[in-house]
């Protein structure tokens, strides 16, 4: 099942900042379009007014008839790159004096004298803008109507260019607003990002870091949940410390009576020689005491592995893996010989520095080698290999035992989990759990694999380079 997508404050703030900006941009774009249209119309209308005025100024009466000496400048000022078509007409009493008959007529009596008016119309199937003026001419009782029309291609082309420029300017402005908004939001949320990173760094599997979060740079709006989390961490630390103290104290307290019990068992064995039934019972008691003693030792080691107080120091120390491996193998030689087997060490020359406290690295190696000897076949050989890797170093512990099925190799790292075997040695199921907990403490890793060329198990502990 896919987890629900977490809402993003950054995205929500950005959207809520850009939506008003977009609405404002659309409003400004609409107002700008109206202004552009008005400016274009006004500019071109003034050119039409100039043409009408130039023609009206040349109106005269000759031999009782209205005539006009049409100047070239009157229509030349309307020339444009759009090659608009120009139409003009001069009429008196409804009769055409000069120009085009296509221009629609007007009721001269309704026009104010000497004032240019404007209207839209259609001439020869094309939309045009018409400027008209009624003017009195000396010698004629009625006013003369002068009209000049221009098609709208130049107006529309200029309007489109100005609108495109306005749209590009608004797009650029929206992009700039978006970038500045993102930067401002990101800068404002940076303390929350640092807080999230601080929390994520505590999510290392197996590691326990219950130190309170630093509230120095936490914004006021996020201070309440951070303080609540710190309180929870403090209570959790107290609970874990109590459990750890109980486990450690109980284990230490039980070691003393176990030692007394084993001493009396050994004394009883010496006092009752030659009696098979008594000897078998004493051996069972001694074996149970030894198993209980080992279980207590592992519980103490597990309590140390769970301790979180020295987690930072343990992960910052530097240890020579070669030196630790040699010491552990030397300590485990009697254990291997007691089972009729052998133990060998294969290591490179020189120091192999790795990250980790010497005690923790030693505990990891001791548990791996002890398990390998314990579960090896009778008279089998346990091989410990130290190798340098690209990221640090690793230590392989090989045995010739039955191995662990691949499907349960992760489960054996769980506490008290044991692989069911008929003739296998007794155990508590804590050894590999201790190894995994200790490895997580120092940023290492432990994996299990099959031995090449035959039956057996390879336990690999990987460590980081300094």
pLDDT in tens, 114-157: 888 989 888 888 889 999 999 888 888 888 888 899 888 888 88
| CA distance linking residue 2 with residue 364, whole number of Å | 37
Taking each helix axis from N to C terminus, what angle separates 431-441 and 358-374, rounded to the nearest 10 degrees? 150
- The two counts, helices (H) then strands (E), for the chain are 9, 14
To the nearest whole percent, how much of the chain has pLDDT over 70?
77
The pLDDT tens digits for 217-235 are 777 777 888 888 888 888 8
Confidence of residue 163 (pLDDT cuts 50, 70, 90): very high
Question: In angstroms, rounded to a whole number, what is the distance separating the alpha carbons of residues 406 and 334?
Answer: 31
- 301 pLDDT above the threshold of 50: yes
Q: Is the pLDDT of residue 112 over 80?
A: yes
What's residue 292's pLDDT?
67
pLDDT of residue 308: 45
Q: What is the pLDDT at residue 34?
A: 93
Average pLDDT of 307-318? 54
Q: How many CA atoms lie within 13 A of 407 on its CB side?
A: 0
Q: What is the pLDDT of residue 31?
A: 93
Region 371-393: mean pLDDT is 85
Q: What angle do CA 235, 241, 242 make, to 5 degrees?
A: 90
In this predicted structure, the answer to whether residue 409 has a pLDDT above a threshold of 50 is yes
Burial degree of 401 (CB within 10 A; 0-12, 13-18, 19+): buried
Residue-wise pLDDT for 263-297, tens only, equals: 767 776 676 665 666 666 666 676 666 666 666 66
Rounded Cα–Cα distance for residues 452 and 447 (Å): 15
The answer to whether 398 touches 449, Cβ cutoff 8 Å, is no
Q: Per-residue pLDDT tens for 176-221? A: 998 998 888 888 888 888 887 877 777 655 456 677 878 777 777 7
Rounded to an integer, the average pLDDT of 102-124 is: 86
Which are the contacts of 122, defined by CB distance < 8 A and separation ≥ 6? 128
Mapped onto helix, strand or coil, the DSSP state of residue 185 is helix
What's the pLDDT score for residue 15? 86
**Phi/psi of residue 121, each to 5°?**
-160, -175
Instruction: List CB contacts of 161: < 8 A, sequence separation 6 or more.
Output: none
Average pLDDT value for the chain: 79
Band of the pLDDT at 312, cuts 50, 70, 90? very low
Sign (positive or negative) of CA dihedral 243, 307, 391, 353: negative
pLDDT over threshold 50, residue 164? yes
Identify the residue with better confidence: 447 or 252. Answer: 447
- Is residue 52 very low, low, confident or very high in pLDDT (cuts 50, 70, 90)? confident
Which residue(s) pair with 398 in the sheet? 383, 458
d(CA 19, CA 77): 46
pLDDT (0 to 100) of residue 309: 38
Listed in order, strand segments (DSSP E) in 229-281 are: none
Q: Which is more confidently placed, 257 or 55?
A: 55
Which tokens belong to 261?
């019990």
Rounded Cα–Cα distance for residues 3 and 6 (Å): 9
For 278, list phi and psi in degrees, rounded to 5.
-65, -40
Average pLDDT of 259-264?
71
pLDDT at residue 310 greater than cutoff 50: no
């Amino acid at each position: 099942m896919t987890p629900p997508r977490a809402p993003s404050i950054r995205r929500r703030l950005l959207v809520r900042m850009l939506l008003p900006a977009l609405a404002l941009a659309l409003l400004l774009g609409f107002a700008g379009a109206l202004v552009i249209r008005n400016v274009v119309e006004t500019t071109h209308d003034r050119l039409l007014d100039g043409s009408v005025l130039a023609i009206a100024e040349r109106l005269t009466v000759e031999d009782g008839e209205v005539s006009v000496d049409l100047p070239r400048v009157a229509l030349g000022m309307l020339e444009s790159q759009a090659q608009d078509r120009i139409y003009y007409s001069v009429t008196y009493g409804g009769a055409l004096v000069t120009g085009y008959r296509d221009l629609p007529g007007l009721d001269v009596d309704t026009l104010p004298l000497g004032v240019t008016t404007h209207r839209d119309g259609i001439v020869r199937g094309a939309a045009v803008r018409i400027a008209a003026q009624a003017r009195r001419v000396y010698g004629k009782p009625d006013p003369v109507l002068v009209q000049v029309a221009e098609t709208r291609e130049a107006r529309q082309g200029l309007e489109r260019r100005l609108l495109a420029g306005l749209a590009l300017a608004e797009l650029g402005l929206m992009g700039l607003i978006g970038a500045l908004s993102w930067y401002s939001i990101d800068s404002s949320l940076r303390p929350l990002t640092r807080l999230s990173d601080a929390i994520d760094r505590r999510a290392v599997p197996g590691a326990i870091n219950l130190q309170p979060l630093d509230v120095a740079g936490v914004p006021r709006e996020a201070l309440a949940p951070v303080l609540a989390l710190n309180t929870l961490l403090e209570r959790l630390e107290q609970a874990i410390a109590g459990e750890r103290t109980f486990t450690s104290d109980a284990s230490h307290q039980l070691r003393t009576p176990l030692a007394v019990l084993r001493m009396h068992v050994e004394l009883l064995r010496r006092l009752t020689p030659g009696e098979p039934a008594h000897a078998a019972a004493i051996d069972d008691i001694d074996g149970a005491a030894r198993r209980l003693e080992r279980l207590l030792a592992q519980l103490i080691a597990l309590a140390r592995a769970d301790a979180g107080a020295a987690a930072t120091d343990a992960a910052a120390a530097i240890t020579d893996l070669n030196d630790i491996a040699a010491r552990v193998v030397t300590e485990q030689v009697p254990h291997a010989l007691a089972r009729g087997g052998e133990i060998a060490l294969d290591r490179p020359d020189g120091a192999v520095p790795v990250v980790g406290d010497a005690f923790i690295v030693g505990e990891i190696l001791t548990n791996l080698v002890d398990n390998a000897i314990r579960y090896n076949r009778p008279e089998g050989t346990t091989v410990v290999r130290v190798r340098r890797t690209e990221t640090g170093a690793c230590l392989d512990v090989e045995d010739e035992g039955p191995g662990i099925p691949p499907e349960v190799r992760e489960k054996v790292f769980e506490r008290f989990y044991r692989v069911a075997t008929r003739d296998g040695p007794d155990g508590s199921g804590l050894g590999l759990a201790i190894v995994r907990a200790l490895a997580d403490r120092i940023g290492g890793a432990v994996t299990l694999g099959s031995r090449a060329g035959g039956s057996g198990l390879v336990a690999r502990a990987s460590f980081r380079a300094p």
